[in-house]
Amino acid sequence: MLDDDRVRADIPGREPGSVFLDSAGSSLPPRVVVDTVVDHLRREAVVGGYRAANERLDDLAAVKTAIGALINAAPASIALSDSATRSWADFFYSIPLAEGDRILVSEADYASNAIAALQRARATGATVEKIPSDGTGQLDLDALAAMVDERVKLVSVLHAPTNGGLVNPAAEATRIAHSVGALVLLDACQSTGQLPIDVAELDVDALSATGRKWLRGPRGTGFLYVRPELAATLEPGRLDLHSAEWTGPEDYRLAPDASRFEFWECDVAARLGLGAAVRYLLDLGPANVYEAISARAEHLRKALPEISGVTVRDIGLRHSGIVSFTVDGVDSVDVRDRLAERNVTVTVSHAGSTLLDMTGRGLRSVVRASPHCFVSFEELDRFVAAVAALAS
Ligand SMILES: Cc1ncc(COP(=O)(O)O)c(C=O)c1O
């Protein structure tokens, strides 16, 4: 069980009377994250960025150790980056593709992933195909099994989409992809920090995640997990003097592990903040946090449909902490803005972010409420009352 009072007291940025429901966008960091970042920036201003970083080498190494503990991976299999998209693309663009190869994407896939897949398909002659969803809305495992053959080089599995509560059966999809030798890249941007992630159990080849959402880290942080055998063999599309060593006039040697997917320059303060965020989560107990998020989302999924004119849009068998809904006759952007007037923060997910899924369901946008463990049930009820007021 979480100590709710401690969790709430740990947030320096909470405004009295506000309701924060945008952890799927960019969450509120705990105090230790803010302090870690600010303290490092102040230190950089005194001794310069290089010396300040040198003073924190152990702490910087510990960032990967903490992430590894969270997702059950060796630190050497993790590359730190500045976003989930960067991580996803770094892995994706390192996969050799040729004419006739097939890339499979989830129906709930994120726009940035799909755009990258389409770009590479144009450049290589590979094809991009959608894995359909089943009657429940989750990735259709039977359809996937029927689609795969040895020409499939990569399956992009979207764990928890940006636009609603769906959780896709990632481990099962991975087993099917591996049966034909295809690689699996799991977009865990919306699941890391709110759902259990064990890369050994999931058996995915790579996983991308961001810092600022459910992990409650700083903006401009993210990471890529790469299966160790692949981290030692794949060649990233871009290299620098950190991802590789210049060994002679004609030669370079790639870093032996996932750090070949990193560049040397980075926001050191943000990275230290990411480490602090992950350690904070580990300290609270990830299972406690996941349970608290799920309880809050379920509370909303029960309460919102009781309001006349409100439709919860979440699909699938298993649900995440993202609750999506629409209000009859009120545009999602208006819902967001009118809630903001009451100091309630939600966001809107537009069709362009998850084009295949949203157009398939005839939706142009949905309102997205994503409560983290620090949101009280009283705040949730205030939010529900505010939605009821604007729906009537
Ligand atoms: C499912 C999903 N994947 C990827 C991303 C991109 O993350 P980032 O903005 O950190 O690159 C998002 C962002 O909202 C997302 O929801």
Tokens of 67: 């992430």
Per residue in 179-221, pLDDT (tens digit) is: 999 999 999 999 999 999 999 999 999 999 999 999 999 999 9
- Do residues 30 and 8 lie in contact, with contact meaning Cβ atoms separated by under 8 Å? no
- β-pairing, 365-369 vs 244-248, is unpaired
pLDDT of residue 275: 98
From ligand 1's centre to the CA of 191, what distance in Å?
10
What stretches of 249-353 show up as alpha helix (H) in DSSP? 268-284, 286-303, 332-341
Q: Taking the model in full, what pTM does it have?
A: 0.98
Tokens of 329: 């006759």
Per residue in 100-116, pLDDT (tens digit) is: 999 999 999 999 999 99
| DSSP tag of 107 | T
Does the CB atom of residue 191 touch ligand 1 within 6 A? no
Q: List domains and CATH numbers for the chain.
A: 4-29+285-391 (3.90.1150.10), 33-283 (3.40.640.10)
Per residue in 315-341, pLDDT (tens digit) is: 999 999 999 999 999 999 999 999 999
pLDDT of residue 1: 86
Burial of 295 (0-12, 13-18, 19+ CB in 10 A): middle
pLDDT of residue 14: 83
Full DSSP string of 144-203:
HHHH--TTEEEEEEESS-TTSSEE--HHHHHHHHHTTT-EEEEE-TTTBTTB---HHHH-
3-state helix, strand, coil in the chain (%, to 5): 45, 20, 35
- Contacts of 343 by beta carbon, 8 Å cutoff, 6+ apart: 15, 17, 18, 19
- Do residues 8 and 379 lie in contact, with contact meaning Cβ atoms separated by under 8 Å? no
Does the CB atom of residue 218 touch ligand 1 within 6 A? no
- Do residues 167 and 195 lie in contact, with contact meaning Cβ atoms separated by under 8 Å? yes
- Do residues 41 and 227 lie in contact, with contact meaning Cβ atoms separated by under 8 Å? no
| DSSP tag of 86 | H
Q: Which atom of ligand 1 is nearest to the CA of 222?
A: 10
Does the CB atom of residue 190 touch ligand 1 within 6 A? yes
- β-pairing, 183-187 vs 152-158, is parallel
For residue 144, which of 153, 132, 157, 162 has the smallest C-alpha distance? 132
From ligand 1's centre to the CA of 15, what distance in Å?
26
- Do residues 319 and 380 lie in contact, with contact meaning Cβ atoms separated by under 8 Å? no
List per-residue pLDDT tens for the chain, 392 residues long: 899 999 999 999 888 899 999 999 999 999 999 999 999 999 999 999 999 999 999 999 999 999 999 999 999 999 999 999 999 999 999 999 999 999 999 999 999 999 999 999 999 999 999 999 999 999 999 999 999 999 999 999 999 999 999 999 999 999 999 999 999 999 999 999 999 999 999 999 999 999 999 999 999 999 999 999 999 999 999 999 999 999 999 999 999 999 999 999 999 999 999 999 999 999 999 999 999 999 999 999 999 999 999 999 999 999 999 999 999 999 999 999 999 999 999 999 999 999 999 999 999 999 999 999 999 999 999 999 999 999 98
| DSSP tag of 370 | B
Amino acid at 191: S
Whole-angstrom Cα Rg for the chain:
21
Within the chain, how many helices (H) and strands (E) appear? 15, 17
Give helix 84-92 / helix 111-124 axis angle, nearest 10°.
20
From ligand 1's centre to the CA of 247, what distance in Å?
37
Tokens of 138: 């989750």
**Ligand 1: which residue has its CA nearest to atom 15?**
162
Residue 378 to residue 382: CA distance in whole angstroms = 6
Does the CB atom of residue 162 touch ligand 1 within 6 A? yes
Q: CA angle, 129 as apex, 124 and 135 as ends, to 5°?
A: 170
